[in-house]
Structure 1
Amino acid sequence: MHPRIAVVGCGQWGQNHVRTLAEIGALAAVADRNLERAEAFAERHGVPAMEPDEAIASPDLDALVLALPASTHGPVARAAFAAGKDVLIEKPIALDVADAELTAAVASKAERILMVGHVLRFHPVFQKLCATVAEGRIGTVRHIIANRMGLGRFLGMDVVWDLAPHDLSLILKMAEGMPLSVSATRRTVLSDATDIADIVLEFAGGLKAEVHASRVSPYRDRRFSVIGTKGMIVFDDLAPEGEKLALYGHQVWRDGEVFGFENAPVTHLPVSPGLPLDRELRHFIDCIVHRRQPETGADEAVETVRILNEASPLG
């Protein structure tokens, strides 16, 4: 028996949650401040339509998925926790650290599940990448490069807040810790806000990571590269199926003052099929049922907002 979950917010991404939860069999209601919009999706899936406040208070619901403007996530989530609901909040959970910390504290005090929707953490290719690195196949991780570039998405939020959260979540998972320092270079090109950003993070042990985000690039790039002492591995989300995860056994060595290197042929690693959003929502359901802390929980949610503010302060 699945927990009874309502989606609050029927925008572009909320619609995906509605459809996926319906396919899983866990969709119990659809809520939106535009009740006509909620009714259209609710009728399609045979569930009730509600106002957001009604969904928060409903005793017939166990949990909510919030896909709202980030500025409203905190107050809605905190009301849901107070009403005894578990909550998955789409990224980012807030626009400032204090708001994010308050939401996390309320969830903890209420003993409710707080999960943040970093969907790429549940991509089967990224999970295979993590498993391959954990096996030691590229040695010790020394550097991470994330490219997220393309044209478009001028949605009133700068490129750091719009695109960087995806890769920051992946980096935090790989680093298994929080950064010691964050620096960023931002550039306005064709809009009135940041269109291109380069973010550098430094972690304990010498690991560094860099995120390159652009919404004015003439080409698309969705690569996540991990460089180790014995090789390199790349998750290319735009590559054809079967070629999204590439292992390079490149070697670099030192002989006295001289460095040498040797290229190795690429090996494309097999990956089990699966849809990231389906896997994310099933993980949320598992956490609700078994009262487990989610893979993408409160600590990561707060730290991501902290990094975003350091890279691109709002206000």
Structure 2
Amino acid sequence: MTSAPSPKIAVVGCGYWGNNHARTFSELGALHAVSDRHPDRAEALAAQHGGRAMAYEDVLADPEIDGVVLALPPQYHADQAIAALEAGKHVLVEKPIALSVADARRVDEAAQRSGLVAMTGHVLRFHPAFEALEAMVAAGDLGSVRYIHSHRVGLGKFHAENDALWDIAPHDLSLILALTGEKPFSVRGVGSAMLNRLSDFAHLHLQFSSGVRSHVFASRLNPYRERRLTVIGSKAMAVFDDVADWNQKLAVYHHKLWEDENGWQSEMVDPSYVELPDGMPLTRECSHFLDCIRSGTAPRTPVSDGLAVIEILSEGTVRHD
């Protein structure tokens, strides 16, 4: 029995993430074309990874191309995603999918009208450590989730249009929304601009109807690098640390807590580490996109997820120091 041929994909945008997508889809045997407003960049990427260098209008008009990956400056994502959907192309659009709630909603509405696969590039949702954490939460291994906090800090990159909140926090907001399964009813945000008008530090505080509370700290002006998501449950605590070695990326802590005549007491224990399967998150994400095109099933990270993140970001940018 022969397997179905791979869908043919065009990667639009030949910057850092476009290069990563082009390489990955080439490795998966699915890269058909690359496109960029600078034709020489597209030609160079095509020479490196295969496929044809094409203008975007030609990508949309090519009946051989099944899906489009958009890795553009985010201010262009909404219009180009809608154009691709209206041209009958499945879409994987990098985060953030837009820079306003109105534009993100337009993308979501276009996706619903089209009936096509429309997926947000929330790559950490496909990390084996997060998938294992998500399964643990769903199975009740941590008990009732009470608090989730994330720290995503480091030095650079600085973008002309995006502050730290919009550039960095979408990763963690996507993870938090996946773990809670609900949108927050309260969002409070504070940002601080040190270098120019755009915030280099951002704090978000979220409250959910289930009782879960959460905070996100994002910084691109920090002397050390940290990529850590911590989930506090009634039975155990878990930490997804993406800076740690592979065999220590997901740690579970069964700290002992009890109350006696002297009040609440605790006893710390060493963590246990969850064994993880091999697999690059981007490869898993791109494979999932191809599988959804083949089967016609909804993606795990639809553009409605991207819209939910944009709604939180928009609320969180109200207050600035």
Task: Bin the TM-score by the shorter chain.
Answer: over 0.9
Moved more, 2-11 or 42-51: 42-51
Q: Which string of whole-angstrom CA distances, capped at 9 and with x for unpartnered residues, describes residues 52-75 of structure 1?
A: 111112111011000011111111
Q: Distance in 1 between matches of 2:293 and 2:89?
A: 10
Instruction: Give the Cα–Cα distance (whole angstroms) in 1 for the partners of residues 117 and 138 of structure 2.
Output: 28
CA gap of 1:49–1:266, structure 2 versus 1, over 3 A, is same
Q: Corresponding residue for 2:305?
A: 300
C-alpha distance in 2 between matches for 1:107 and 1:136: 34
Distance of 1:278 and 1:144 partners within structure 2:
27
Q: Which residue of 2 aligns with 1:265?
A: 270
Q: Are 2:91 and 1:87 equivalent residues in the alignment?
A: yes
6, 11, 20: which one aligns with 1:2:
6
Q: Aligned runs of 1:213-252 on 2, under 5 Å?
A: 213-252=218-257
Give the structure 1 partner of residue 50 of structure 2: 46
Q: 2:290 aligns with which of 276, 285, 294?
A: 285
Partner secondary structure for residue 308 of structure 1: helix
Taking the aligned partners of 1:45 and 1:230, their CA distance within structure 2 comes to 48
After superposition, give the CA deviation of every residue in 1:264-303 in whole Å (9 maximum; x if it has no partner): 2211111111000000000111111111111111221111
- How big is the shift at 1:195? 1.0
Once residues 310 and 194 of structure 2 are traced to their aligned partners in structure 1, the CA distance between those partners, rounded to angstroms, is 24
Q: 2:19 aligns with which of 15, 20, 23?
A: 15
Contact 1:186–1:197 (CA under 8 A) maintained in structure 2 = yes
Partner residue of 2:81 out of 61, 77, 82 = 77
- Offset, 1:135: 2.7
One-letter code of the match for 1:129? L
- Once residues 75 and 301 of structure 1 are traced to their aligned partners in structure 2, the CA distance between those partners, rounded to angstroms, is 15
Deviates more, 1:303-312 or 1:87-96: 303-312
Structure 2 match to 1:312 = 317
> Does the CA-based 8 Å contact 2:31-2:50 persist in structure 1?
no
1:112 aligns with 2:143: no
Alignment of 1:127-146 (within 5 A): 127-146=131-150
Superposition deviation, residue 257 in structure 1? 8.2
Offset, 1:312? 1.7
Residue 46 of structure 1: how far off its partner (Å): 3.1
Which of 212, 224, 233 is the matching residue for 2:217? 212
CA contact (8 A) 1:190 1:216 kept: no
The one-character-per-residue Cα deviations of 1:127-156 (angstroms, maximum 9, x if unpaired) are 111122223221111100100011111112
Letter in 2 for 1:272: P
2:171 matched to 1:171? Answer: no
Q: Which of 148, 152, 156 lines up with 1:152 in the alignment? A: 156
Indicate the residue corresponding to 1:57 in structure 2. 61
SS in structure 2 of the partner of residue 144 of structure 1: strand
Aligned match of 2:101? 97
Conserved? CA contact 2:207–2:213, under 8 Å: yes
Which whole-Å CA distance do the structure 1 matches of 2:210 and 2:50 have between them? 53
Q: With the length of structure 2 as denominator, give the TM-score of the two structures.
A: 0.95
5+ long unaligned stretches in structure 1: none
Q: What residue ranges of structure 2 are gaps of 5+ in the alignment?
A: none
Q: Could you tell me which amino acid in structure 2 is paired with residue 207 of structure 1?
A: V
- The offset of 1:44, in angstroms, is 2.5
Distance 1:116 1:173, change over 3 A: same
Post-superposition, which runs of at least 4 consecutive aligned residues in structure 1 deviate over 4 A? none
The letter of the residue matching 2:63 is: P
Which AA in structure 1 matches 2:124?
Answer: L
1:195 to 200, 215, 219: 200
| Range 40-49 or range 293-302, more displaced | 40-49
Contact 2:189–2:318 under 8 Å retained in 1: no
When normalised by structure 1's length, the TM-score is 0.96
| DSSP 3-state at the match of 2:225 | strand
Partner of 1:34: 38
1 CA distance for matches of 2:309 and 2:138?
A: 23
